[in-house]
Amino acid sequence: MTEADRLRDLLRAAYPPPPGRGPSRDLWVSIVSRIDTPVRPSRLDVALATLIAALMIVFPKYLWLLVYHM
């Protein structure tokens, strides 16, 4: 028995495998349902877009700053 085998056996004895190695249910169903749900923008997203549009109308010379950060 090599040192690596001995160390592996010691670690397996100290840390037994957890019970129930697999997931408790099928996760693919929840993934597909999450993909199929329509995405709605939040109120914060709409508010920020409105604020940026208003600022670009009031201060058009700073449009380059917005374009630079995109």
Distance (Å, whole) CA 11 – CA 17: 11
Higher pLDDT: 70 or 45? It is 45
pLDDT digits (tens, 9 = 90+) for 27-69: 889 899 989 989 889 999 999 999 989 988 998 888 888 788 8
Burial 29-59 (b: 16+ CB within 10 A, else e): eeeeeeeeeeeeeeeeeeeeeeeeeeeeeee
Does the pTM of the predicted model rise above 0.85? no
> In 10 A of CB 6, how many CB atoms?
10
Helix (H) or strand (E) holding 3, with range, is: helix 3-14
Question: 43 in helix, strand or coil?
Answer: helix
